[in-house]
Structure 1
Amino acid sequence: MKPVWLVLNIGSSTVKFGLFDIQDASPLVRGAVEGIGLRPRLKAHLPDGTLELRAPADARDAKELTLWLLGLLEGRLGPLDLHAAGHRVVHGGPDFNAPVLLTPEVIERLEGFCPLAPGHQPFNLAGIRAVEARWPGVPQVACFDTAFHHDRPRIARLYALPRDLTDQGILRYGFHGLSYDFVASRLPDVLGAKARGRVIVAHLGSGASLCALHDLKSTDTTMGFSALDGLMMGTRCGQIDPGVLLHLLRQGMTGPEIESLLGRQSGLLGVSGLSPDMRDLLDSDHPEAAEAVELFVRFVVRQVGALAAGMGGLDALVFTAGIGQHSPEIRARVMAALGWLGLDPDPEANAQSRTILSRAGSRVMAAVIATDEEAVILRALRHGEAAHFAARTALV
């Protein structure tokens, strides 16, 4: 049996995964199961080719899908000598600012953060439980989306609330940290001398946020206490006047109803009434679709301006994630609105999705970098965190 590491990146609708040789970290299998809760479909790159198939009807939630996936992989590859598993966990709260071995005590603490990320944290924990069910006692490690933002200046983490609430952990945490971590590691190769300057990374996907970086470190970000804040997203509202929520409460809506409204019925889906998928909206001739796209761009442009003001200027803008990497039209609209900052886009480079999107003389560079959150999880395993896992207490 070949000794392997397993990486799982479980979101609200997707299970991304990889099996890696622990000798050289080369990928043996990489792929994703999309459509959790709907009609899940697997696409995986195996040593003998690409595998595409539907998940069975009884494997619909994250744990059942993960168990089915792990069984399928062993069926195709043979028994796995699994040394450790690494997981993306969205919320680490105020406690966790680095990868951590998952013990029963740690898992209990992470369960307490589920109300802060209800669309993600339960799915992350389901994957952890699935691995434990299939390989009892195999060490597992959590890598946190909040950790990359943990060392921002205190002032960037505060709300204007009474101090006792701040002391209770009501802070601006920030998310998409694994994505920003990976992109930051690529900036010197892509941007050269500007990499350590004032950079904004735009993670634009079904979930969307911006991160301001200086010297490759997070200094500010658009998401806050939860993953609802900041930019308009696929089904999430983004920044909203809290008075709207008070109004809805006075109108008789319950907390769970408001949570569903803001997190699953709003954003591109809510404004368009058609779809949360930017591709669908760009292909549509409905005026509501056009309005949703225009509002999405407006959110991005306004908050790029706010982050740039906070840094005293901008040296580079980097696009990543599904929309950022694959939608030249959205990138073009955003860049066209940022000419006042000194960004001079190259339309041909953008249309062809080249790495550098700005003209040679542009004061602000623009670029596209494909993100790889699984690579950051693998890096945590490679850099020694996994070496001593086997000697530690196993999950129960």
Structure 2
Amino acid sequence: MQSIKEHFVLVLNSGSSSLKFAIYHYHTMHRQWSGVINGIGKASGTMKISDSHHHQLRTSTQHYRNIADAATAIILWMKENKKYCLISAIGYRLVQGGPEHRIPEIITEKVLVDLKALIFLAPNHLPEELSLIDTFLIAFPKIKHVACFDTNFHRDMPDQNKYYPLPIKYKEQGLMRYGFHGLSYEYIMQKLNQQHAFIDQKKIIIAHLGSGSSMAAVSAGIGVDTTMGISPMGGLVMATRCGDLDPGAILFMLKMNDITPEELDVELSEDAGIKAIAGTADMRDILKRRNSDKLAEDAFTLYCTQAKKFIAALAASLGGLDLLIFTGGIGENSFEIRERICADMDFMGLKIDHCLNLRSEKIISCQSSKVCIRVMETNEERMIAMHTKSILLACEEIDPKFSMHSGVETA
């Protein structure tokens, strides 16, 4: 008989050309293995897998045509290690679930039908995410599969921040500002609640800065405003996404060019952003080049200037600011971007300490700063694992006959 400690939750987090995965102990929520497949859809992709001590277990290179190929590679690895991988449930990050699907839930046939009808809301994300689910449903048909939506954190935004000033018929059709990166924001708020008393009395802005970038305003522990809207293309300029545009700019693009809405979608989400300015979507490359390349400096300046504007706007929405948090790949690792964003913001009470920021300390604000500025590591996969475990516990409460042990599967 297998030990109870050998039951796990598998977490899957897919991106446009990557797939992250992690395996957590069901009871301790300790991450046992984690990995990533990069370069999906490109000539050559890589799979890297590490153990809980960050020791590299596997590095391999091959061609992954699509997300299903990447999913199959993970399943094959799990088969090779099946004596260690008794999976109790699988949790997935889904970028969009429309107005009806926000809270984490078990994936059923009806949920899949609903999500397929919503592909138009997230055409660059949902098809791959649904393909991923289909592949793992076939490999693991007996266990619970749980959808965790990136929009959940923003579900309680007040109407003035949620709805667009458009005829009511569009609101009835589901047109609203959904907001994204919610799993990241949930994780940050959970950590803050563990570390600080009365955090729900603070006015907080969380800046999730990465290839996809957004910010969220939090008051009384609730997300009350955010930068992204109906899609992850809105708000801040990003690696390949345009960010906010005057609607007239979109009409201009359609009128002046013989392109379809689908082609426009690709241009705005894959060929815009800092890539359109500097010729590269990699912020690390831009930071290396910016002192000798004007286009790189222009992209860097635009990115940081827009971040400043949105911090000020969200602070106005909150009616003040107590805590600014940088997270995400860029927010956690780029001292140059944090420094430029916070420069000349002392009129808002933001004063960054150059030395603390250079060392990426947890707190990087000066002692005289009225606003505390922090750097925090996010962990969307752990948040998904915790939601998935909560769903299993709820199943046990509703149906005493249900046991997470009876549904375990090896790959």
| TM-score above 0.5, yes or no | yes
Residue 292 of structure 1 is matched in structure 2 by 299
Pairing 1:73-152 to 2, within 5 Å after superposition? 73-78=78-83, 80-152=85-157
Gapped regions of structure 2 (runs ≥ 5): 397-401
Alpha-carbon deviation of 1:50? 1.2
Deviations 1:302-352 (A, max 9, x none): 111111111111111100000000000000001113221011111111000
Correspondence for 1:28 among 23, 29, 32: 32
SS at match of 1:263: helix
Pairing 1:311-322 to 2, within 5 Å after superposition? 311-322=318-329
Residue pair 1:17, 1:32 contacting (<8 A) in 2 also: yes
Deviations 1:266-307 (A, max 9, x none): 01111112x101100000122111101100111111111111
Alpha-carbon deviation of 1:47? 6.5
Correspondence for 2:62 among 45, 56, 71: 56
What TM-score, normalized to structure 1? 0.94
Alpha-carbon deviation of 1:146? 0.4
Residue pair 1:92, 1:147 contacting (<8 A) in 2 also: no
The CA distance in 1 between the partners of 2:87 and 2:198, in whole Å, is: 41
SS at match of 2:160: helix
Residue 263 of structure 2 is matched in structure 1 by 257
SS at match of 1:388: helix
Residue 326 of structure 1 is matched in structure 2 by 333
Residues 358, 188 of structure 1: alpha-carbon distance in 2 compared, 3 angstrom cutoff? farther
More displaced 10-residue stretch of structure 1: 41-50 or 232-241:
41-50
The CA distance in 2 between the partners of 1:323 and 1:282, in whole Å, is: 11
Residues 196, 374 of structure 1: alpha-carbon distance in 2 compared, 3 angstrom cutoff? farther
The CA distance in 2 between the partners of 1:21 and 1:220, in whole Å, is: 34
Gapped regions of structure 1 (runs ≥ 5): none
Alpha-carbon deviation of 1:391? 8.3
Whether 1:225 and 2:214 are equivalent positions in the alignment is no
Residue 237 of structure 1 is matched in structure 2 by 242
The CA distance in 2 between the partners of 1:343 and 1:194, in whole Å, is: 19
Pairing 1:194-233 to 2, within 5 Å after superposition? 196-233=201-238
Correspondence for 2:375 among 349, 368, 371: 368
More displaced 10-residue stretch of structure 1: 348-357 or 187-196:
187-196
The CA distance in 2 between the partners of 1:196 and 1:112, in whole Å, is: 40
The CA distance in 2 between the partners of 1:291 and 1:356, in whole Å, is: 29
Alpha-carbon deviation of 1:81? 2.2
- Corresponding pairs, count: 391
Residue 279 of structure 1 is matched in structure 2 by 284
SS at match of 2:62: coil
The CA distance in 1 between the partners of 2:394 and 2:167, in whole Å, is: 44
Alpha-carbon deviation of 1:213? 0.3
SS at match of 2:234: coil
Identity %: 35
Alpha-carbon deviation of 1:79? 6.6
Residue pair 2:105, 2:391 contacting (<8 A) in 1 also: no
Residues 12, 71 of structure 1: alpha-carbon distance in 2 compared, 3 angstrom cutoff? same
Name the amino acid aligned to 2:344.
A
Residue pair 1:84, 1:386 contacting (<8 A) in 2 also: no
Residue pair 1:235, 1:265 contacting (<8 A) in 2 also: yes
Residue pair 1:42, 1:51 contacting (<8 A) in 2 also: no
What TM-score, normalized to structure 2? 0.90
Deviations 1:15-48 (A, max 9, x none): 1111122232222211222222223212221369
Name the amino acid aligned to 2:73.
W
Residues 187, 23 of structure 1: alpha-carbon distance in 2 compared, 3 angstrom cutoff? closer
Residue 361 of structure 2 is matched in structure 1 by 354
The CA distance in 2 between the partners of 1:317 and 1:195, in whole Å, is: 14
Whether 1:12 and 2:19 are equivalent positions in the alignment is no
Q: Alignment RMSD, CA only? A: 2.0
Name the amino acid aligned to 2:227.
T
